[in-house]
């Protein structure tokens, strides 16, 4: 900051206070549109799977494992290339704009899967598609019906959506580091989180209750909002000029040199593996979110009640997250996250109470709201300081994108495993004890996973202290 505090700089970019306000407004508007778009798929796709009576294993595979496998392969490549990409439009925004039409097309197609599935059946593609799916899951696809056609269309377009959305998720978060001045970055992230949660709250309150009656319209609306709203942000936010990209290891060139550089810089130090392992275990813990709709429906909630529950939880998080951000700045994110994990051992198992206590639906609704708002939201906000605040304090700043993509790759491994394992676990629990016990028991799954997160972060804490701790921490790099 210079010129009497009136000019803010990051790289070759310089902002007045007014220019900075405009930048923040466009970035936050883009985040609002992006989060609304992203809220649609995980909330409405389970509705369609439930309507089609899909097995939990299939749901887990295509909502968790397949997207994670795509991220595992694509995220490191996109991040590494984006760090080193140079164009007159920047190094992040071109990746978003290039994939935007395809992403919007997938959203609209997901809204019309019933029509597309019937078309697949009617034109005779069913036999070919069925033979492939029957070979993949022989106990699931015994014949190619219209329902099978809809499932095929749903799984295909969900997979394509995950592929194109990986480009956005891989670079959007790095854009902030490139265009927001460092002295304001933490405050911007807190506002960013508030907008993200607020947009989710708005969606849950006003839109989710129409999931069954206006499924297609919601998907089409999300596609239009993303194309227009997020597209405007891409046009209005300008990246600066970047220095020439760093050379690969030993001055080598080519794809093998790129892989060698990436592996050497990101994967050879035990210090960062503690954080990678913590992230993987956290992914295993939160895979239950993909089945949260099933859990809430099994308790007897309507979509209107589910939306109100989510809205109340979101509002609680909006109010609490500035406080947890302040705590993370004052006491360091690693301490805040560890405290949240310890408290989670009390909160996570509470879903089991509905196995032993089955009052009327209104009582269940208000008790669940109390658990979510007074316990779940505060503890969740503490743990949320892991990504990105803890990452920003642990990873080398000049290689932040690379290390984040390495972390994302490890999380993808956990998601692939977690999706299949959790789906299989729920199918077996449902077969043994019934659906209510199965979905209520997800809290036990989370407790085990959170214990693994805590162990890994305690290892990171010791390593962090050895590398300087609060006052003198210096991110280690390979020699």
In-domain check, residue 59 = no
Q: Does residue 272 lie within any of the structural domains?
A: yes
Domain count, the chain: 1
The least confident of 105-109, 401-405, 442-446, 470-474 is 401-405
Length of the chain, in residues: 479
Nearest to 52, CA basis, from 126, 117, 132, 133 = 117
pLDDT at 242 over 80: yes
| pLDDT (0 to 100) of residue 334 | 94
Residue 108 in domain: no
- Distance of alpha carbon 357 from alpha carbon 355, whole angstroms: 6
Q: List, for residues 279-293, the tens digit of each pLDDT value.
A: 999 999 998 887 888
> Mean pLDDT across the stretch 150-171?
91
In a domain, 442, yes or no: yes
**421 domain residue, yes or no:** yes
Query: Is 300 within a domain?
Result: yes
pLDDT tens digits for range 397-421: 767 778 988 998 898 889 888 888 8
Q: Using an 8 Å Cβ cutoff, are 9 and 1 in contact?
A: yes
Inside any domain, residue 468 = yes
Range of the domain at 300: 254-479
Give the end-to-end CA distance of the chain in Å, rounded to a whole number: 33
Encode pLDDT of 347-398 as tens digits: 999 989 999 999 999 999 999 999 999 999 999 999 988 887 888 789 887 6
Comparing 411 with 456, which gets the higher pLDDT? 456
CATH number at residue 268: 1.20.1250.20
259 domain-assigned: yes
pLDDT attached to residue 230: 93
At residue 2 the predicted structure's pLDDT band, cuts being 50, 70 and 90, is very low
Query: pLDDT value at position 3?
Result: 44
Long-range contacts of 326-329 (CB under 8 A, 24+ apart): 327/382, 327/385, 328/385, 328/389, 328/390, 329/186
* Residue 237 reports pLDDT greater than 90: yes
Q: Tokens 């009582």 — which residue?
A: 363
Please report the sign of the dihedral spanned by the C-alpha atoms of residue 390, residue 393, residue 395, residue 400: positive
Buried b (16+ CB within 10 A) or exposed e, 451-469: ebbbebbebbbebbeeeee
Rounded CA gap, 239 and 11, in Å?
A: 9
Closest CA to 74 of 216, 170, 8, 201: 170
> 243 is written with which tokens?
């220095």
Separation between Cα atoms, residue 277 and residue 460, nearest integer Å = 10
Instruction: Express each pLDDT in 33-86 by its tens digit.
Output: 998 888 888 888 888 888 888 877 788 888 878 888 898 888 888 988 888 888
């Amino acid at each position: 900051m210079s010129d009497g505090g009136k000019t803010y700089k990051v790289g070759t970019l310089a902002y007045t206070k007014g220019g900075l306000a405009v930048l923040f407004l466009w970035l936050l508007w883009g985040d609002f549109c992006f989060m609304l778009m992203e809220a649609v798929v995980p909330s409405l796709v389970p509705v369609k799977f439930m309507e089609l009576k899909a097995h939990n294993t299939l749901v887990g595979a295509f909502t968790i494992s397949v997207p994670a496998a795509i991220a595992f392969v694509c995220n490191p490549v996109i991040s590494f290339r984006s760090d080193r990409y140079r164009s007159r439009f920047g190094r992040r925004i071109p990746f978003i704009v290039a994939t935007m039409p395809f992403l919007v097309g997938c959203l609209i197609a997901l809204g019309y899967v019933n029509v597309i599935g019937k078309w697949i059946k009617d034109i005779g593609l069913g036999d070919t598609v069925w033979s492939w799916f029957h070979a993949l899951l022989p106990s699931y696809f015994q014949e190619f019906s219209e329902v099978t056609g809809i499932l095929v269309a749903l799984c295909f377009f969900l997979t394509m959506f995950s592929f194109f959305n990986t480009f956005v998720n891989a670079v959007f978060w790095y854009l902030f580091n490139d265009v927001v001045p460092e002295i304001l970055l933490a405050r911007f992230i807190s506002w960013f989180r508030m907008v993200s949660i607020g947009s989710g709250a708005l969606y849950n309150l006003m839109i989710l209750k129409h999931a069954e009656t206006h499924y297609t319209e919601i998907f089409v609306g999300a596609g239009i909002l993303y194309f227009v709203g997020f597209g405007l942000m891409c046009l209005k936010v300008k990246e600066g000029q970047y220095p020439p990209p760093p050379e690969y290891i030993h001055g080598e060139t080519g794809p093998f040199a790129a892989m060698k550089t990436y592996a050497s810089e990101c994967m050879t130090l035990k210090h960062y593996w503690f954080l990678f392992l913590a992230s993987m275990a956290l992914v295993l813990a939160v895979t239950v979110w993909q089945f949260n709709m099933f859990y809430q429906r099994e308790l007897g909630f309507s979509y209107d009640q589910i939306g109100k529950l989510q809205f109340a939880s979101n509002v609680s998080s909006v109010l609490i997250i500035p406080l947890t951000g302040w705590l993370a700045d004052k006491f360091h994110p690693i301490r805040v996250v560890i405290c949240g994990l310890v408290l989670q051992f009390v909160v996570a198992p509470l879903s089991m109470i509905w196995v032993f206590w089955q009052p009327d639906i209104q009582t269940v609704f208000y008790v669940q709201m109390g658990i979510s708002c007074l316990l779940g939201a505060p503890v969740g906000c503490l743990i949320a300081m892991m990504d990105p605040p803890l990452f920003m304090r642990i990873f080398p700043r000049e290689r932040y994108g690379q290390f984040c993509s390495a972390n994302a790759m490890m999380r993808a491994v956990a998601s692939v495993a977690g999706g299949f394992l959790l789906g299989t676990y729920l199918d077996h629990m449902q077969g043994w004890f019934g659906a209510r016990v199965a979905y209520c028991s997800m809290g036990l799954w989370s407790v085990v996973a959170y214990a693994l997160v805590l162990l890994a972060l305690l290892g990171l804490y010791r390593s962090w202290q050895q590398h300087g701790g609060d006052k003198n921490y210096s991110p280690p790099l390979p020699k």
